[in-house]
Chain A
Amino acid sequence: MAIRMEKPWIELTSESVQALPGQLGVFELADRQGRVVCIGFAGGRSLFGLRSELERALRERPGGATRFRYEVNQQYMSRHRELLMLHVADHGALPVVNGADPPPGLGRLSPL
């Protein structure tokens, strides 16, 4: 299994968000230059799962997000942490939005 999220980006529009499933999972938001600006998850308290979380992203545009990609994933919490650690390993820092409120006790990965 590829540990990095390598799916193609989707434009962050009301049409694309409305088409999302109401399931739990993780997502990445990127700006116009393709930089990942936020890594988030839709957990067990999300009203409509990924759709609710991406609706909020559409409204608030955190970090200037213009596109997104996602994974339906029941292990959303550990996968979320993994994606954050991978980002730090690859880029030396958290995405700008996550960096403003860093998760406590984030571990270190040195993936091959």
Chain B
Amino acid sequence: MQLEPTEEQRQILATVRRFVREEILPLEAKLDPDASELPKEDFDRLTNMVRAMGFWGLDIPAEYGGAGIDLVTRALMAVEMSQHRAGLYAPCYGVFGSAGLAQLYEATEEQKQKYLHPMLRGEKRGFFGLTEPSGGSDPARAIRTRAVQDAGEWIINGSKVFISGADRAHFGLVFARTDAERGRGGITCFIVDTDMPGFHVRRIVHTLRSSHYATELQFENLRVPAANVLGEVGRGFAIANDRLSRQRIPYAAACIGVAVKAQELAIEYAKQRETFGAPLATRQAVQWMIVDNEIDIRTSLWLTLAAAHKADSGQPYRMEAGMAKLVASEAGGRVVDRAMQIHGGYGMTKDLPFERWFREMRIRRVGEGPNEVQRHVIARDLLGAGLR
């Protein structure tokens, strides 16, 4: 069991830390405090720097041109990459590349040529269409969008909500019910082109995040070729589920990165800010907040790294990934809240990053599976499916 980063990991983390401090923070200081995108010239320049460092495509398998990094190192990098104002949802503003829709790695060769490779080259964008107005945490029961076969095609009718990026996407993965009698075995995943008649982005769903929004979709007799079924008919639920556990690890790590930065700022401020003739850092009330922050950060970090280690060593890790996501998202919220309290009035302003982290960290308890569902999954693993 290895509890210290390797020398190679130390060097990688030092490089990423320097990149965030020297490249990201100065640019961010000029952007709107809610911004999630860099100007194109800065994005292109930094993406080229990241490619030169060999870190582009962290979540892309090496055989597709990705960095080929193990999940423990990926989690440690995510902690560093998120230590800036936009870092929770836009770590380093995306210049390290995105895996896009991981489900497409299971696509047919023809589908990969049409969708996966253009997506990895940045020529096409995709969206993930699972959640419906009837629910998202229990897709096996909640999915009411229907797909029926007709003359070698599928006709899709229904709606989706809380879908990110659909208004800018060229295609998406849409999960629809193809067999009303078969529960999770009756769900199929379709690759849908957004320029097809019958595909509608009906409205934007505004959230606590200002620069990012979700969308609500409607499908009206949307015809999809049979060749656009991803995987097998009736196996869509497995495709939807596969991506979730792995993604929860960097998701948790980003919460930790923001918490680390909030703690760093809180300590710095507590040492310099004086009240009643002495620094805040001398007050027990403030000391305890800082101690509790550190306990929250370290607890989350070890759980997240333990989950990543299990995944890297090929062991089942669904429960560990769920715990990491649950603990890090709740701990991150507490740390940001305490750091705001230590900063007093300034902590509430857009001059500092806390108010953005506070809003965005709240979403983390719901995103990637609500924490109540994580507890449900953990209970099922501990007690067995019959006793949950």
Contacts and interface: CB of A to CB of B under 8 A. Distances in A.
Interface of A: 3, 43-45, 74-79, 81-82, 85, 104-112
A78 B201 CA distance: 15
Q: Top 3 A-B pairs ranked by shortest CB distance?
A: A107-B167, A44-B33, A78-B213
A87 B209 CA distance: 22
Contact of A108 (B35, B167, B206, B211): B167
B27 to A, nearest CB: 14
Given A104-B40, A105-B168, A109-B167, A78 B206 contact: yes
A110 B200 contact: yes
Contact of B34 (A44, A85, A110): A44
B362 interface: no
B203 A78 contact: no
A77 B200 contact: no
Nearest to B40: A104
Given A104-B40, A109-B201, A43 B33 contact: yes
B36 to A, nearest CB: 8
Contact of A81 (B166, B207, B213): B213
Given A45-B33, A75-B207, 14 more contacts: A43-B32, A45-B32, A78-B210, A81-B204, A81-B213, A82-B206, A85-B167, A104-B37, A105-B168, A107-B167, A108-B168, A108-B201, A109-B201, A112-B202
Contact of A74 (B167, B210, B212): B210
A109 B204 contact: yes
Contacts of A43: 32-34
5 contacts: A44-B34, A107-B215, A109-B204, A110-B200, A110-B201
A74 B209 CA distance: 9
Nearest to A107: B167
Interface string B205-243: 011011111010000000000000000000000000000
B114 interface: no
A3 B201 CA distance: 13
B29 to A, nearest CB: 10
B168 to A, nearest CB: 4
Contacts of A104: 37, 40
Contact of B211 (A3, A78, A111): A78
Contact of A44 (B32, B37, B206, B213): B32
Interface of B is mostly: loop
Contact of A75 (B194, B201, B206): B206
Interface in B286-311: none
Contacts, number: 65
Given A75-B210, A78-B209, A78-B210, A107 B201 contact: yes
**Interface size, B (range):** 20 to 34
Given A43-B32, A44-B32, A85-B167, A109 B203 contact: yes
Interface of A is mostly: loop
Contacts of A106: 168
B350 interface: yes
B46 to A, nearest CB: 16
Contacts of A45: 32-33
Contacts of A44: 32-34, 350
A75 B32 CA distance: 12
Contacts of A112: 202
B201 A82 contact: no
Nearest to B34: A77
Given A76-B210, A78-B210, A111 B33 contact: no
Nearest to B355: A44
Interface in B1-58: 32-35, 37, 40
A43 B213 CA distance: 16
B368 to A, nearest CB: 20
A26 to B, nearest CB: 11
B8 to A, nearest CB: 36
Contact of B35 (A74, A77, A109, A110): A77
Contacts of B215: 107
A79 B167 contact: no
Nearest to B200: A110
A43 B212 CA distance: 14
Contacts of A76: 34, 210
Nearest to B31: A45
Contacts of B35: 77
B125 to A, nearest CB: 9
